[in-house]
Structure 1
């Protein structure tokens, strides 16, 4: 029997938005300090788990019709691609490179290969965590 938790569902929508924004902030600040792909991925997974608790798996699978198992190989390929890319420039595996660029709206910013590697880690962490949580939830 499903109870109608309107307060939990309303609060979960609001808190999920805040967690996702904080996850994006932690992800972008990862190559300068603590955080990055792993912590950002865990925060994103926690926001999605909160939505799974407020709603059910069937509702969430209709809202987000995506197989999280696909994120794991995609993330591994992105992370591995940043390491293999260093071979084209004759530098050691996973050598960090960065540059300063001027973007139209943002202005001057730094783009780094560590961010691309963190994106791969982020995708792997979200994929693995959500696959585990959904597997546990579907068995009940």
Structure 2
């Protein structure tokens, strides 16, 4: 697409949408939101950038194939789900929480790590599908 307005807007919106997706990810274990919605917002940001600037330019911004995010995210999610069994002997996916508050983030627990894994998987899957379809057309 050769629209100067869309190129300018997508370049401006990419960092803002990524920042918003991280905000939705971080507030997800207390309020509505989380890894899935945050991952969709981040994927939409990169898809908008690809529509405006081309797939090769977006791949340069990503610096890695989005398919590599899938096993990384799955590993983080699985480890956070198994952590209660390994560390305390509690059932699978029992929430573990660090007792002290962390500045800006609040209390950190295994739910945040699980959401981060889901976030990475959703970005990887969505971008892999869209980029594969875009390459074949």
Instruction: Give the TM-score normalised by the residue count of structure 1.
Output: 0.89
Secondary structure of 2:108's aligned partner: strand
Q: Cα RMSD over matched residues?
A: 1.7
Quote the Cα distance in structure 2 between the aligned partners of 1:121 and 1:108: 18
Quote the residue 2:73 is aligned against.
75
Contact 1:101–1:108, Cα closer than 8 Å, also in 2: no
| Residues paired across the two proteins, number | 136
1:76 CA displacement: 0.7
Q: What's the CA shift for 1:102?
A: 5.1
**In the alignment, what sits opposite 2:115?**
118
Query: Which secondary structure state, in structure 1, belongs to the residue aligned with residue 98 of structure 2?
Result: strand
Compare CA radii of gyration and give the structure with the larger one. Answer: 1
Q: CA deviation at 1:87?
A: 1.1
Q: 1:1-140 maps to which residues of 2 (within 5 A)?
A: 3=2, 5-88=3-86, 89-101=88-100, 103=102, 106=103, 109-140=106-137
For structure 1, which runs of at least 5 residues remain unmatched after alignment? Answer: none
Cα displacement (A) at 1:86: 1.2
Normalising by structure 2, we get a TM-score of: 0.91
Cα pair 2:81 2:110 within 8 Å, conserved: no
Displacement of 1:122 in angstroms is: 0.4
- The structure with the largest helix share of the pair is 2
- Structure 2 vs 1, CA of residues 41 and 101 (structure 1 numbering), >3 Å: closer, same or farther? same
Q: Does 59-68 or 116-125 show the bigger shift? A: 59-68
Return closer, same or farther for 1:63/1:96 CA change in 2, 3 Å cut-off. same
Residues in 2 aligned to 1:108 and 1:122: alpha-carbon distance in whole angstroms:
17
